[in-house]
Amino acid sequence: MRALVLTTTGPVVQDHPDPLPVSGEALLRPLLVGVCATDLELCRGYMGFTGVLGHELVAVVEQADDPAWVGRRVVGEINCPCGACTTCLAGRPTHCPHRTTLGIDGRDGCFAERVLLPQANLHLVPDGVSDEAAVFVEPLAAACRVLEQLHLHPSSRVVVLGAGRLGQLVARVLALTGAQIQAVDLAPSRLALLPVGIEPVLASDASALAGADVVVECTGHRDGLALASTLVRPCGTLVLKTTVADPAAPPVVPWVIHEITVLGSRCGPFAPALRLLAAGLVEPCPLISATLPLEQGVLALDRAAHPDTLKVLLRPFP
C-alpha cells in the first residue's frame, strides 16, 4: 500500500507493507485523514517516532471480528491500551503504560491506504455527519476533554491562546457553556474564522486580557506557556494543550506565588464530539484550508506548517 512514512531522514510517501489484521483489530480504509500539529512536531523529533504518520481519520471498516462493523463508516480513538494493567483496570486506559498510540507511539498511523485499530476503539459516524466534519472528531474530542476536567461557570472569562487547528475547536466547545470566550492569535485570518460570540484578540493586544479565570494554551509554540502564565488570575486555572519537541522551561514560581491550578489536557471523549457534530452545535468544515491526495502528503505537511493555514486533509483514494 502507499503511505506517508516518517523515516529517520524525514517524511516520504512510499510503498509500505499492508497491515495484517489480528484478533480484536479492525482493518480500516481511510476516507479522509487530517494533519495535526502533533504530526508536525513528530517530524521535528517529538517522541522519536518513525513509521506511518496520522491519527485523525474517518474510515470504512473492511475487516473485523464482528461482521456487523464491516462496511460501516467510523472514527477511531487513538490510544490502544493493554486492558489488563492496574491503570486500565482503574479506568484510566488512555494512560496505560503499555499503550500504543496511532501514528504517534508504537503503532503505524492512518496516512495510508489501510490502517489497523482495535475494534473496541471504533465509533460509528451518524449518517448526517459528512466525512469532512467527521475527520475532526479526534481533535474535537480533545476540546471536549477540557470540560471533563474543569467546570466552567457562565460567568467565567476564558482566554484561548492560539486560534489554530485545536484552539478554534476549544473556543467553540467552551462557548457552549455561556462563558465569555476570548481567542488570541497572531494571524487576523485565523481570528476571522471564529464564530459570533467568541471575541477575537490580536496577540499584540493580549496583555489587556490579564486576570482571566481560565487560560487554555493551544499555541503550539514552546513559549506559549510563559504568555499564558501572565494572563491567568491568582487562584485561576491554566489548561495546557500544546505538545512540542522542544518546550521552554515552565515559569513555575508564579504558579506557586499565585496558587495557579495547572491542568494537562490530552485526548477526550468521542461520543460527545459526535453528538455535537450531529446536532450542528459545532461546525468545523470552515477550518479546512486544503484537501490533497495522499501522494502529495509531504506537501500537505509543508502547507499545514504555514502560519495562515488551518486544517489540511489528505484523501488516501481518489
pLDDT of 250 reads 85
Could you tell me the domains of the chain? 2-136+284-315 (3.90.180.10), 143-264 (3.40.50.720)
Distant-in-sequence, close-in-space partners of 84: CB < 8 Å, separation ≥ 6: none
Secondary-structure breakdown of the chain: helix, strand, coil percentages, each rounded to the nearest 5: 30, 30, 40
pLDDT of 169 reads 98
What distance in Å separates the CA atoms of residue 171 and residue 216, rounded to the nearest whole number?
9
pLDDT of 307 reads 86
Closest CA to 272 of 260, 264, 281, 283: 281
112 near 3, Cβ under 8 Å? yes
Query: What DSSP state is assigned to residue 23?
Result: T
pLDDT of 209 reads 97
What distance in Å separates the CA atoms of residue 220 and residue 161, rounded to the nearest whole number?
9
Residue 127 has pLDDT above 90, yes or no: yes
208-231 pLDDT per residue, tens: 999 999 999 999 888 899 999 999
Query: Taking residues 65-88, what's their average pLDDT?
Result: 97
Q: pTM for the full model?
A: 0.95
Proportion of the chain above pLDDT 70, given as a percent: 100
pLDDT band at residue 177 using 50, 70 and 90 as cut-offs: very high
C-alpha cell at 48: 522519536
pLDDT band at residue 249 using 50, 70 and 90 as cut-offs: confident
Task: For 137-180, give the DSSP string.
Answer: HHHHHHHHHHHHH-PPPTT-EEEEE--SHHHHHHHHHHHTTT-E
To the nearest whole number, what is the mean pLDDT of the chain?
96
What distance in Å separates the CA atoms of residue 113 and residue 122, rounded to the nearest whole number?
18
pLDDT of 308 reads 86
91-102 pLDDT per residue, tens: 999 999 999 999
Query: Taking residues 296-301, what's their average pLDDT?
Result: 98
What distance in Å separates the CA atoms of residue 227 and residue 254, rounded to the nearest whole number?
12
> What's the angle, vertex CA 293, arms to CA 70 and CA 304, rounded to 5?
110
140-164 pLDDT per residue, tens: 999 999 999 999 999 999 999 999 9
Helix (H) or strand (E) run with residue 213 in it: strand 212-217
Residue 247 has pLDDT above 90, yes or no: no
